[in-house]
Structure 1
């Protein structure tokens, strides 16, 4: 019968036939600048109403729009309509089609990079290479981190980078870091020591010749030859560097400034001063490089948690391998004194582990069979056998290292300001020096041309912005490193600076201010149902949930659940769950669910979370679940108020009685209870109206259920984030312990870092300005000018290193 059925050529069938051949088009867009979760929901709703759109999904957290269009012929028309909807709701949001293909992240080591100003030039030019999405030079770790859009251009891009680096800094060695390779440090150290030795010998010989020329009496020609020999030994490298840079169009750098100043000193007969200025400049630069390298090593030491190897168990043998070679399910052995290389579960052995590198906790923890263990901790005394649960790239230690090492790519506003300032400051001083040399001799009666040239040359010496360009990013990176040492991961200098202006702190309740460890404290059945039956209904219904309340019910039930008995599981956001258990419809949730389903229930006034249960539309009773407040929470609130936070608010989905009790116990200013996830975002929007223009709002949550609120806040802080992918992804700051008091410490570290940065800015600019004025009026000499350059830079770098020390804050 079926074989005789034919499709006719009727108009209806023709349309159906054509429709089957219409190709759907899927597009993905970035919504740059999207900051309102409520607006995102409106956009999604309106776009879905467009005729021709099959589906539209706006992800507020990732700021993306995934659009499925029914007909390929209407793509351009519908994209234009979508852009109009987005801009009508949020005018400043830019809609950009997401690039196809994977973005490649490439790290390039710039060995020997010691000029912060040059680092800025390399970064600017690398960003202009075709196919590069972004390029950031981290001067502290001497790395260039690139995001490449077009993978086919990868080799060309790297070649262009090498050309740029060689043009700007010829002595810098460019090393492309493979994700699985480790750069050898021992060879670098030997090369560095060898280079330092040769430089010290060269400077020492030049200084001896200078002292001989100054201390003894020689004829003018011999004296000039001695000074020239000393100058070539001490400053020849600087002059050659300046000539190379001028040939490449790089004029305004410290090599050029020092060369012009010292050669000018020779030209007007000030031989001793020309040599002395170059000598002290070189000595100052050497000490500055030593200070920067020392601070780099200190910061690296703070995060020295990368495991070097893993003891992989293969049958009865143990093989030492790279952590990257271990796979999920493999068995590894960790001996006393070794770092745990990968995340996993202890299957054999007991030991104490030192978690200080991850969490800042000084007291070791005990682990045994069945316990989860994180990579990066140190095994103290016992032999542990661990089953690996995550590959190295996804492990806790890898994520933490990636976060800390790349934190400097997100620059603070102060850093961006100084980078821009340095670009204009040096040329401005150079032209001012030119004016100082040329104008006064023509304007002031009796002015001697050589005197004003000398002043102009001293002007040039003091103009280098290195003190600011080096010390400020170093200060922020030191602050981030010091915070990580205390179990606080800050994702960038911009977030560290933002923590200075916190006015309102908003807390989630469960797992943030409370322990999140729920216990069933009451079981109250009704309508001829026993306690065992009531808890069984609740356990079967909550079997698919990993919410702390569901976990506590399953723990209280304590028996194995036959999942095949549960059908039609439906989770109702903010209300509870609806399931069918052996043919009976079971509702488990809060009073809102009972109201929604028109079931009469008993209103319960108690300190705890009340879970109501109904079977086949009849009320079956309730279960009371209680949570404990963390011991650290009261201290956290007190500390935040002590450092000047104006308002502390709690948002919770729990009932008003529980919320009010905890708010009173902790001394919170406001509490909003019985909120759905989207209502939390709405409350946060209202709080924005209460802060000042520069003030910041912090939201503190568990990083799993509160991702939209974490993303919407000025600064999102995730509590207990170690091992939680969602927490690390959504938050700007991750507290690696369950201590909310660490938030106050993070703010204190931010304030200390800002104070150090501001001290460096005021000190460097202040000293330079004073010396420029003294030189302009003929009071200052080149000696003061050299101090204004290298001396100030050295002091600023040493001061920046204090940001790493967070003791006694």
Structure 2
């Protein structure tokens, strides 16, 4: 049956609601002067070698600097310190040169180059080396932190299967998964990854789904059940018929989403990018003013003194820690969520999730199991229960709706589909078909009223399928559904976060009343057509706009695609098996657990909090040292320590999301 199943002929009721990976691009673009390779392949020994050599040369230069400087052998000072400067700063100097040729002058590398060459010009060579050296130390820690965050995603990418055991006429051949076709038979041995989505033909086993769903408990699979690419076969030998090519398999789509998540940047990231674009030129011209103007207007001021202060200003103003820690924070949020079975398609959705104050649920398959079973068969006008079930099974034979499946299961026999003709689904109402030459209607109360068929019952406890033959009412089949195990916990967790909960369903008012009472929902509406759900959501969105908050809709991603698309954040449940969920939703819960919704919001809130902590800390700290440098209190040494310190603290703070994305919220 299509759409909702039981429309009451009574007035509608409305229960009132309470008032309402980073792909950081070229390392030359900003801060990555020292680590142009993929940070996921970070080599600590390789990075430490030039830093250690430069540090030894700097130490020698400092020990003998004064001695050499006051002797005829002063050239030796340059012979020791200039190589140290070039070793520690070569990547910065070359990046500044390349970016300048491309028209990107005002970046981190330009600021560092300008400051250190100025220091050499005023004969502060050890400080110039120190600036480059400690900047590289900061880059070292930054590269390590970025590497750790990317490894959290790389662990997910490692579930990509390498080979498939293709069975052809009894022979087993190892082939690439993308060469296997739909309908081919593959064999999955114990300990191997399932390479493609498919249905089990033979064998029984335990499969580890943790890479896909974040759930640690293996589940048992047997013939007739579906296995998905990326699961790990733990015990028995499985023979599987492939149902999807590798490019369309669940794991392939998931990996594509995770790898491309950085393409949808949060507003905060965009703000920081725009901020840095204007901030850096302002700093350069401010430093130029500090170097040139005071000696003209302040008696006794020297050019050397104010040029030095301008150089301090340039060093402390470098925005690297700010610019790198923001995407790193969001990347940690996306990665941490993925490890827990929650796919977020981009950092922009993390920002929106963090502002959610109303979560709207679909009912069937979202809050309830979706495992309908027939509980009562009520006959009228001459049919017995078996005949009514047979008629219903025939007219429902081509429907994929859970209610139709439960009716066919209750009938328990092979359905004579040859007797069914002119099959027609009526959205939001039910089905019309010709069965053995008779016009049969199967649907909800709304369908009976539309077709003007007299019947004796309008309100029924449960989901109901009414049957009519040639305009005569013949009975009804009542189907029950059950709440999911963690549905009550999910609503309780959302309420604990101060989030309003709502439900929009096409089911009957009596069913909605019962579900809402069991869960303690704040608001619900029943007996809704698909377009009615959109209208109801629009009302909730308007209320949310008054409080500048967001609304999330949670559904199965197939029947509820329009509502998922309309919500501020669309969340699809059970997305592993649903193409529509992957395509439509902004967030995909890779299990059927509604409690993951509260977990996703927690992760988003912590990510946003850490990101803004980094922004405020960096701005306040840099403003303080800019002031100290301008009045001559801070030196170049202190400036570089402050710059590196701000970057490291911001990066370590962002790393908290990667280590444990849920802690620290309350």
> Same fold by TM-score, threshold 0.5 exceeded?
yes
Match of 1:686 in 2: 539
Match of 2:166 in 1: 312
Match of 1:482 in 2: 336
Give the Å deviation of 1:440. Answer: 1.3
Question: Which stretch of structure 1 is more off in the superposition, 513-522 or 596-605?
Answer: 596-605
Match of 1:405 in 2: 259
Q: Deviations over 1:369-394 (max 9, x none)?
A: 11100111111122212111111100
Decide whether the 8 Å contact of 1:774 with 1:780 is kept in 2.
yes
Decide whether the 8 Å contact of 1:513 with 1:740 is kept in 2.
yes
Q: Deviations over 1:490-518 (max 9, x none)?
A: 11111111011112111111111111111
Is 1:562 the counterpart of 2:420? The answer is no
Measured in 1, the distance between the counterparts of 2:663 and 2:128 equals 46
Decide whether the 8 Å contact of 1:114 with 1:289 is kept in 2.
no
Give the Å deviation of 1:198. Answer: 5.2
Gaps of 5+ in 2: 1-20
Secondary structure, counterpart of 2:503 in structure 1:
strand
Give the Å deviation of 1:335. Answer: 1.8
Match of 2:625 in 1: 771
1:313-712 aligned at under 5 Å gives the runs 313-603=167-457, 605-645=459-499, 647-691=500-544, 692=546, 694-712=548-566
Measured in 1, the distance between the counterparts of 2:572 and 2:447 equals 29
Change (3 A) 1:324 1:544: same
Measured in 2, the distance between the counterparts of 1:299 and 1:792 equals 26
Measured in 2, the distance between the counterparts of 1:568 and 1:277 equals 80
Change (3 A) 1:473 1:597: same
- Number of positions where the alignment pairs a residue of Structure 1 with one of Structure 2: 639
Is 1:114 the counterpart of 2:27? The answer is yes
Match of 2:121 in 1: 267
Give the Å deviation of 1:244. Answer: 4.2
Secondary structure, counterpart of 1:690 in structure 2:
helix
Decide whether the 8 Å contact of 2:338 with 2:344 is kept in 1.
yes
1:166-315 aligned at under 5 Å gives the runs 195-196=46-47, 199-200=50-51, 202-214=53-65, 219=71, 220-315=74-169
Give the Å deviation of 1:447. Answer: 1.6
Match of 1:19 in 2: none
Decide whether the 8 Å contact of 2:507 with 2:528 is kept in 1.
yes
Question: Which stretch of structure 1 is more off in the superposition, 270-279 or 712-721?
Answer: 270-279
Measured in 2, the distance between the counterparts of 1:311 and 1:202 equals 52
Q: Deviations over 1:401-451 (max 9, x none)?
A: 011111110000001111111111111101110011111111222222211
Give the Å deviation of 1:368. Answer: 1.2
Change (3 A) 1:795 1:801: same
The structure with higher relative contact order (CA 8 Å, sep 6+) is 2
Give the Å deviation of 1:350. Answer: 1.2
Give the Å deviation of 1:289. Answer: 2.1
Match of 1:44 in 2: none
Change (3 A) 1:548 1:245: closer
Measured in 2, the distance between the counterparts of 1:701 and 1:388 equals 27
Decide whether the 8 Å contact of 1:116 with 1:470 is kept in 2.
no
Decide whether the 8 Å contact of 2:625 with 2:639 is kept in 1.
yes
Secondary structure, counterpart of 2:577 in structure 1:
coil
Measured in 2, the distance between the counterparts of 1:636 and 1:172 equals 44
1:92-107 aligned at under 5 Å gives the runs none
Change (3 A) 1:200 1:313: farther
Give the Å deviation of 1:194. Answer: 8.1
Measured in 2, the distance between the counterparts of 1:799 and 1:722 equals 33
Decide whether the 8 Å contact of 2:61 with 2:77 is kept in 1.
no
Q: Deviations over 1:466-497 (max 9, x none)?
A: 11221111111111111111111111111111
Secondary structure, counterpart of 1:585 in structure 2:
strand
Change (3 A) 1:602 1:428: same
1:708-727 aligned at under 5 Å gives the runs 708-727=562-581
Q: Deviations over 1:342-380 (max 9, x none)?
A: 101111211111111111111110111111001111111
Measured in 1, the distance between the counterparts of 2:66 and 2:157 equals 51
Measured in 1, the distance between the counterparts of 2:367 and 2:27 equals 46
Give the Å deviation of 1:212. Answer: 4.3
Match of 2:661 in 1: 806
Q: Deviations over 1:683-714 (max 9, x none)?
A: 11112222235211111111111111111111
Is 1:737 the counterpart of 2:588? The answer is no
Decide whether the 8 Å contact of 1:462 with 1:788 is kept in 2.
yes
Measured in 2, the distance between the counterparts of 1:369 and 1:378 equals 17
Decide whether the 8 Å contact of 2:602 with 2:662 is kept in 1.
no
Q: Deviations over 1:193-222 (max 9, x none)?
A: 785365346435533543443486562343
Give the Å deviation of 1:546. Answer: 0.4
Decide whether the 8 Å contact of 1:210 with 1:230 is kept in 2.
no
Measured in 2, the distance between the counterparts of 1:411 and 1:728 equals 19
Measured in 1, the distance between the counterparts of 2:542 and 2:395 equals 41
Decide whether the 8 Å contact of 2:461 with 2:510 is kept in 1.
yes
Give the Å deviation of 1:799. Answer: 1.9
Decide whether the 8 Å contact of 1:710 with 1:716 is kept in 2.
yes
Q: What is the CA RMSD across the aligned residues, in angstroms? A: 2.5
Decide whether the 8 Å contact of 2:166 with 2:180 is kept in 1.
yes
Measured in 2, the distance between the counterparts of 1:203 and 1:708 equals 61
Q: Deviations over 1:211-253 (max 9, x none)?
A: 4434865623433443334333333453344344434433222
Decide whether the 8 Å contact of 1:538 with 1:588 is kept in 2.
yes
Measured in 2, the distance between the counterparts of 1:782 and 1:563 equals 85
Give the Å deviation of 1:313. Answer: 2.0
Decide whether the 8 Å contact of 2:29 with 2:107 is kept in 1.
no
Change (3 A) 1:248 1:591: closer
Match of 1:70 in 2: none
Decide whether the 8 Å contact of 1:206 with 1:234 is kept in 2.
no
TM score, norm. by length of structure 1: 0.75
Give the Å deviation of 1:171. Answer: 10
Decide whether the 8 Å contact of 2:430 with 2:441 is kept in 1.
yes
